[in-house]
A and B are shown apart, each in its own frame.
Chain A
Amino acid sequence: MQKYQFKPKSRFREFLGEKIIRLSAYAALLGIILIFIFIFKEALPLFTDHAVRQEAGIDKLVLKQRFYDDQEPTWVWQPNSDNPKYSLLPLVIGTIKAALIAMFIAAPLGIAAAIYTSEFASNRARELIKPTIELLAGIPSVVLGFFALMVLASIVQTSLGLTYRLNAINAGIALGITVIPIIFTIAEDAMSSVPRSLRDAATALGANRWQVAVTMVLPAALPGIAAGVVLGFGRAIGETMIVLMASGNAAIISANPADSVRTLSATVAAELAEVVFGGGHYSVLFFIGTLLFVFTFLVNLGGDLVLHRLKERVQGRSS
């Protein structure tokens, strides 16, 4: 029998291969760090450059400003003006409003669909439902935005009797459609991966299907469902094209979901193209980018922490 021997050359290849795949793994990390540094660097003049600070200092972004002598101080986003106004408050409110509406729609639908698919659906129904919902995630957001602009807005306006055709509800519904597949997929995976032994134990104790699903599988899968909701929220915050087209983009401060909203991401997308390079407006837009970045990072991190704690609790109880 011939004895197989590793040649030094193949050792080198293995070494190289390992290094290359390690590099790919770290490339993502490096990419994120570099992107963050770049975005933040462009926003830095807000803190360091005297002229930019005069125009759009951090106080002007956050605090109420008096722009005209005959008017009360307010928060206004109106960067193209003789007297540029850079208050971020209307944008932050708009972003959160649209994302919350999206979550109110997507979370119940996504989770309910996941419970049905994983616990009650026949194999055939599951084979039909799962790919269909996942297909939703594949719709380009610009198509969804156009649909919301042209069709959905009219339906929402007439059925709810709203003054404004393009508003937070309309944008929220369209956003919800993109978020549903995220919540559904993650929640469904989490429920399907609840160990069979747990289900069997519950069934053996006399639980029917509904009881197994609600009292057994649902709590055990809670970390996965929570993760899905959190990731969905991150997506709703960062989604750009849909809100740009469907929300009307009026930067107003109001709690009314029937009013138009302007989100942070849509503002960057709409205004960055023609802005004066290196000016106050430019830095503010990159500052918004930094905010979005930090915010999504925190949302994901927070979701992760909750997820771990829930996992420990659930596993502690079930074992």
Chain B
Amino acid sequence: MKPEAKSKLIWTLGLVCVVSVAVGLSAPAGGNVTIKGSDTMLQLGQRWAETFMGQNPGVTIQVTGGGSGVGIAALINGSTDICEASRQIKPAEIDKLKERFNSPGVEIPVARDGLSVYLNEENPVGELSLEQLKKIYTGVVTNWKDVGGPDARIIMYGRENSSGTYSFFKDNVLEGKDFAAQTQTLPGTAAVVNAVAKDKLGIGYGGAAYAKGVKDAKVKKDEKSPAFAPTLENVKSGQYPLSRNLFWYLRNKPTGDLKKLVDFVLSDAGQEIVSKVGYFPLK
């Protein structure tokens, strides 16, 4: 390289450095909102944040996961503005919040979540109780004839333990018990649906999905109660047993940017994002 060219290069590099530092320093110092909590809701929170930031360039929103418990703890110690939680806040946590901030916190349901139980279309079994689901997935019941089906082995399909669906099913159906070791775990709802579609004796669970060869089992809370299908109405009304609210928790009544954000989330545009991410809107 000629000396001339070399010095040109150095100048250019220097200029690039100066410019990038200047740009970095002059970045707009607008409102900063942090959202922390449920891993299930992480993607939902991020999509809301992206869209909201697109409409309000002055606001920066940071969304992180960690789990509902982690999010509520962060709300209590003041390190997050909004906590995303897929469970309701516990009385003990409300007490701590009162102690530190003199406010019981504000609970805002932002979306609904419902899990479908898939069965093969040819399976004569059409409805299952939560108790039966628990027995099937903990390995107590291994034959379809014990739940009203043919005399054949039940093949259980499920999700990987890193998935929020796995935790929801474990908490709400298995009541914290371990899945049977025989449960086959697959990456993604689509894989579970396909597996059940191809396996006459299969059972699976996952978000709402429609596929040929698979039907959604109607689920009943206990033996005596009626069975409900995971339709939009039943999930919204809470009659379908495998449904839950997803919440946002704030310390105080939202104002300013926070209020704008909450209003956006509850607006039609915000709820449309809920459906797009795969959950159920509130209205």
Contacts and interface: CB of A to CB of B under 8 A. Distances in A.
A260 B170 CA distance: 21
Nearest to B170: A80
B181 A251 contact: yes
B199 A250 contact: no
Contacts of B179: 78
Nearest to A165: B199
Interface in A51-101: 76-83, 85, 90
Interface residues of A, number: 33
B161 A249 contact: no
Contacts of A251: 181
Interface in A268-306: 270-275
A99 B170 CA distance: 32
Interface stretch (B91-99, B121-129, B185-193, B231-239): B185-193
A39 to B, nearest CB: 19
Contacts of B202: 165
Contacts of B199: 165
A80 B195 contact: no
Interface in B81-123: none
A247 B195 CA distance: 12
Contacts of A154: 198
B222 interface: no
A249 B160 contact: yes
A80 B167 contact: yes
Contact of B195 (A76, A90, A166): A166
Interface residues of B, number: 26
A260 B184 contact: yes
Contacts of A149: 186, 191, 194-195
A248 B186 CA distance: 7
Interface string B136-165: 000000000000000001010000111100
A220 interface: no
A109 to B, nearest CB: 27
Interface in B167-181: 167, 170, 176, 178-179, 181
B198 A252 contact: no
Contacts of A275: 162
Interface of A: 76-83, 85, 90, 149-150, 153-154, 163-166, 244-245, 248-252, 260, 262, 270-275
Given A250-B185, A251-B181, A270-B160, 11 more contacts: A77-B181, A80-B170, A149-B186, A165-B199, A166-B195, A249-B185, A250-B181, A250-B182, A262-B185, A270-B161, A270-B185
